[in-house]
Amino acid sequence: MKEEDFPPIYTAADQASKDAQRYFFWALGANLAFIVIAAILSVANVQTRGFALLQIVPLLITLGLTVYLAARQPQRIWYGTRALAESVKTVSWRYMMRAEPFDRGDATDRDHFKDSLTKIFNSNRRISEHAVEMAAGSQITQKMRDVRALPLRERIDLYEAERVSDQHVWYTNKAKANKRSSKRWFGTLIGLNVVALLFASGKVASPAANYWPTDILVAAAGAAMAWLQTKRFQELAASYTLTAHEIGLLRIVLPDGSSEQAFSVYVGDAENAFSREHTQWQARRDAD
């Protein structure tokens, strides 16, 4: 399954989420970087008018970025549109697999699918109406119709390969990546604090010496801590690891293809496991 095989509203929400995430981390990263630059210029403290004017520049930039983050709140758009995209993807897979509640007649299920998308969009309306572009085309794509029409055995094989296995690999890789990032950033944070402590100790030994960069290192450590808290590496690593374990257990009980009802229950259990992530996105949006 390709991204364009899902409802256009999913594609639009997915792109809006990626854009908002990029804007948020770019603005936050630049803000923290210019705070450190401001600390560097402050420590240098060259006694000229031009240098004094230069010191103002990073402060103005950080002020502008702070106002942008507070006013635009790209993180809320990111969380809300990601929750919307993942919710649409979940009901789309349920519909294609003929899983409950889309296990009745085609006409009835089409109506119920439309109602489900409407409910999802309305629950995210405040964010989505400002961030998601108009999604043109039928919300039930031809690929979705083709998959839904497949025999049970072929639907099971496709779901295992394109949904369960794909999600298992994704969550496993994300858990590993976040664990690595957590270790790197904590190492960086500890290193910056240790070096700052050494320079502070050196200043005690030689208080008359000029240009001790302790303030720069403290600012850099503060920026690293802010980045760590925002990225939530440890929290995400734990969440992704748990979901990967749940998916691994699900793969053991994949139905043998003899019962539509058994497969419907399996899809429901699997999608509930996958929904852990977009439930967290929804909670983050509501909390911010």
Q: What are the pLDDT digits (tens) for 27-86? A: 999 999 999 998 888 877 777 888 888 889 999 999 999 999 998 888 888 888 888 888
User: What is the tens place of the pLDDT at every residue in 157-177?
Assistant: 999 999 999 999 999 999 999
82-140 pLDDT, tens digit each: 888 888 999 999 999 999 888 888 888 889 998 998 888 887 777 666 656 666 668 88
> What's the pLDDT score for residue 129?
67
Place of tokens 């925002």: 230
Reported pTM: 0.83
With pLDDT > 90 as the criterion, what percentage of the chain qualifies?
Answer: 37
